[in-house]
Amino acid sequence: MPIAGKGILITAMNVDPDHEVEFNLWYDREHIAERVAIDGFVEARRYQAVDANPKYFATYTTSSFEDLSSPAYKTALANQTVWSKTNLARAQDMIRVVGRITASKGQGRGGALAVIRLRPDLAQATEWRHKLEALLDPGTVDGVISMHLIESDPDLSVSLTEPDKPNPGASDWFVLVEGTHLPAVTELAEARFVGMGLQVISTGSYQLLWDLAKSEL
């Protein structure tokens, strides 16, 4: 599988321009490495929007789905640094998804990313899962490297700063399309996953800023 592991944490957020420089410095100098260092975490990738909202998008993959509710992860969340608490409080329009990597096809990871957020009828989850999995193979499409299906866990996909806030999208699914050329991933995402009968909540395109693997710590 192109994505290593079985679990994934997706976060997306905006930040006030007045705090953006410090927010990015914190993210790049402390937050990413701190999360990747947690037992079970494999890598993190950080993106910036080309045509999407929120502006910043990140993925953190784990060896197993259970690593995203492990004692090690809970300990890390309970012991945030002052710098982390300050900048997490500055995040706006926050999206936090704890999910399972249901399928991952292709070879390698790309610097261009298209994100499709879907809201399936969970009574037909098996049927839709099979349909989506069949569309994930990039084949010989130029500029597309790999594609992945992520299924959110409704119990774990809660805000860390507002855990009691209702989240109607806690069970949403995400399709990630990665490639070498942004037009290629956005065109394929539109052609394969929009208009197939599933409710599309949002689409967006992002460019990779940087990534960090456990082996690099």
Note the pLDDT of residue 158. 86
For every residue of 146-196, DSSP letters joined together read EEEEEEE-TTT---SS-TTS--TTTT-EEEEEEES-HHHHHHHHHHHHSSS
Residue 213, C-beta contacts closer than 8 angstroms, at least 6 positions apart: 36, 42, 43
Give the SS3 label for residue 135: coil
Note the pLDDT of residue 164. 79
95-137 residue pLDDT tens: 999 999 999 999 999 999 999 999 999 999 999 999 999 999 9
**AA identity, residue 10:** I
Residue 57, C-beta contacts closer than 8 angstroms, at least 6 positions apart: 10, 11, 12, 46, 47, 48, 49, 113, 115, 204, 206
Cα(42)–Cα(153) distance, integer angstroms: 19
Note the pLDDT of residue 153. 96
Which residues of the chain fall short of a pLDDT of 70?
Answer: 1
Cα(176)–Cα(185) distance, integer angstroms: 9
Strand partners, 174: 117, 150
pTM of the predicted structure, to 2 decimals: 0.96
Note the pLDDT of residue 166. 78
Residue with tokens 């052609």: 191
Note the pLDDT of residue 81. 97
Cα(1)–Cα(106) distance, integer angstroms: 7
